Chain A
Amino acid sequence: MDKHIVAQVEAALSEVLEREITGLTEEARLLEDLHLDSTSVMEMLMHLEDSLGIVIDPENLDMEDFQSVGTLTAYLARVAPEPQLQGR
Chain B
Amino acid sequence: MTTSVTTLEAVESFVPDRVVPIEQLAERLRLRPTKVRLFRRIHGLQEIRFDPELSLYDVVLPAARRILDGPGVRDRIRYVVYSHTTQAVAPAHIDPAREIRNRLGLEHAEAFAVSQQNCASGMAAVDAAAELLRAEGGPGDRALVVTGEQAFSPQIQLIPDIAIMGDAGAACLVGLDGAGDTVRSYATRTLGEYSAAMLLDEEKSLEVSTVYAPVLAEVVREAVEQAGLTLDDIDQIIPHNVNLQSWRQTIGELGIDRSRVFLDNVGRYSHCFASDVFLNYTTLRDAGALRHGRTYVFATVGLGATFAAMVITHRASGVAQEAA
| Interface, chain A (partner B; CB < 8 A) | 15-16, 35, 37-40, 42-43, 45-47, 49, 56, 58-59
A interface majority secondary structure: helix
Other contacts beyond A38-B245, A40-B161: 16, CB < 8 A? A15-B32, A37-B205, A37-B206, A38-B209, A39-B162, A43-B34, A43-B161, A46-B37, A46-B41, A46-B42, A47-B34, A49-B37, A56-B42, A58-B44, A58-B244, A58-B245
Residue from A39, A43, A46 within 8 A of B209 (CB atoms): A39
Interface residues on B, range: 10 to 19
Determine if A39 and B161 form an interchain contact, defined as CB atoms under 8 angstroms apart.
yes
Q: Which A-chain residue is minimally distant from B44 (CB atoms)?
A: A58
Instruction: Indicate whether A37 sits within 8 Å of B34 (C-beta atoms), given known contacts A58-B41, A58-B244, A59-B248.
Output: no
Instruction: Indicate whether A42 sits within 8 Å of B206 (C-beta atoms), given known contacts A58-B244, A58-B245, A59-B248.
Output: no
Instruction: Indicate whether A56 sits within 8 Å of B41 (C-beta atoms), given known contacts A37-B209, A39-B162.
Output: yes
Determine if A15 and B42 form an interchain contact, defined as CB atoms under 8 angstroms apart.
no
> In the complex, which residues of chain B have a beta carbon less than 8 angstroms from the beta carbon of A38?
209, 245
Determine if B38 and A39 form an interchain contact, defined as CB atoms under 8 angstroms apart.
yes
Q: What is the minimal beta-carbon distance from B243 to any residue of chain A, in angstroms?
A: 10
> In the complex, which residues of chain A have a beta carbon less than 8 angstroms from the beta carbon of B34?
15-16, 43, 46-47
A/B interface sample: 12 pairs, CB < 8 A: A16-B34, A37-B206, A37-B209, A38-B209, A39-B38, A43-B35, A43-B38, A46-B37, A46-B41, A56-B42, A58-B44, A59-B248
| Interface, chain B (partner A; CB < 8 A) | 32, 34-35, 37-38, 41-42, 44, 161-162, 202, 205-206, 209, 244-245, 248
Q: What is the minimal beta-carbon distance from B257 to any residue of chain A, in angstroms?
A: 13
Determine if A46 and B206 form an interchain contact, defined as CB atoms under 8 angstroms apart.
no
B interface majority secondary structure: helix
- Per CB-CB distance, the 9 closest pairs between chain A and chain B, nearest first, are A46-B37, A39-B161, A46-B34, A42-B42, A43-B38, A47-B34, A58-B42, A43-B34, A37-B206
Q: What is the minimal beta-carbon distance from A41 to any residue of chain B, in angstroms?
A: 10
Alpha-carbon gap, A59 to B34, bound state (A): 18
Alpha-carbon gap, A49 to B206, bound state (A): 25
Alpha-carbon gap, A16 to B34, bound state (A): 8
Alpha-carbon gap, A45 to B43, bound state (A): 13
> In the complex, which residues of chain A have a beta carbon less than 8 angstroms from the beta carbon of B202?
35
Alpha-carbon gap, A76 to B44, bound state (A): 22
Alpha-carbon gap, A15 to B37, bound state (A): 14
